[in-house]
């Protein structure tokens, strides 16, 4: 699967300092990504760290049209808790995905699954802030298994600079899904 994120910080700023995401911004971002990836569609187009009031109607209309044409499969937001709080379920009626940091360091995010029940949830950074030594690997396995169990219809992202940790963590995620 191919995914991309558009950051509001990359777009022009409104007079009060709030970035405005325009049709030109998302169209240029989508076109550049399609060209760079040498593909004709994107699985996920996520507006990154973008408050609800910063997305102009023309930008959203363009994304929805690109989705209807098969150039984008799913539209969503990637946000920290502060930005996510600016959205309601009805604000996201035309979005498919919400991505946010999740794990033991962000217990306040437990309510996002309840607040946005109809959306695919992508958890990221669930192992963030942990030590990566072998004695902490069991903790990582437990955290990953708990996150996968909590988000059975979504995705859980994790990373490591240590390839063995990636292998073990991937195996943990697979086993926790029962596949």
pLDDT reported for residue 1: 43
pLDDT reported for residue 176: 65
More confident residue, 90 or 86: 90
Mean pLDDT of the chain: 79
Contact 67, 35 (CB under 8 A): no
CA distance linking residue 27 with residue 6, whole number of Å: 10
pTM (predicted TM-score): 0.76
| β-pair partners for 124 | 101
Nearest by Cα to 158 from 124, 132, 131, 134? 124
| β-pair partners for 121 | 98
The helix/strand/coil state of 151 is: coil
Span 36-45, average pLDDT:
94
pLDDT digits (tens, 9 = 90+) for 102-154: 766 666 677 788 888 889 988 887 776 555 555 555 677 777 778 778 887 88
pLDDT digits (tens, 9 = 90+) for 54-81: 888 999 999 999 999 999 999 998 887 6
Span 6-29, average pLDDT:
70
- Per residue, the 3-state secondary structure of 70-128, as one string, reads CCEEEEEEECCHHHHCCCCCCCCCCCCEEEEECCCCCHHHHHHHHHCCCCEEEEECCCC
Q: Is residue 51 scored above 80 in pLDDT?
A: no
Share of the chain above pLDDT 70, in %: 77
Span 29-46, average pLDDT:
94
């Amino acid at each position: 699967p191919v995914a991309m994120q558009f950051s509001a910080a990359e777009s022009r700023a409104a007079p009060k300092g709030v970035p405005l995401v325009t049709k030109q911004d998302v169209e240029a971002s989508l076109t550049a990504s399609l060209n760079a990836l040498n593909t004709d569609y994107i699985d996920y187009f996520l507006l990154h760290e973008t408050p609800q009031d910063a997305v102009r109607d023309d930008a959203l209309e363009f994304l929805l049209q690109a989705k209807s044409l098969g150039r984008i499969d799913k539209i969503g937001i990637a946000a920290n808790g502060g930005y996510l709080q600016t959205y309601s379920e009805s604000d996201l009626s035309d979005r498919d995905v919400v991505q946010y940091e999740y794990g033991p360091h962000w217990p306040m995010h437990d309510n996002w699954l309840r607040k946005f029940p109809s959306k695919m949830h992508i958890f990221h950074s669930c192992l963030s802030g942990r030590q990566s030594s072998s004695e902490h690997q069991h903790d990582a396995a437990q955290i990953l298994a708990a996150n996968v169990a909590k988000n059975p219809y979504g995705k859980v992202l994790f990373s490591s600079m240590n390839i063995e940790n990636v292998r073990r963590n991937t195996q943990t995620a697979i086993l926790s899904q029962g596949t």
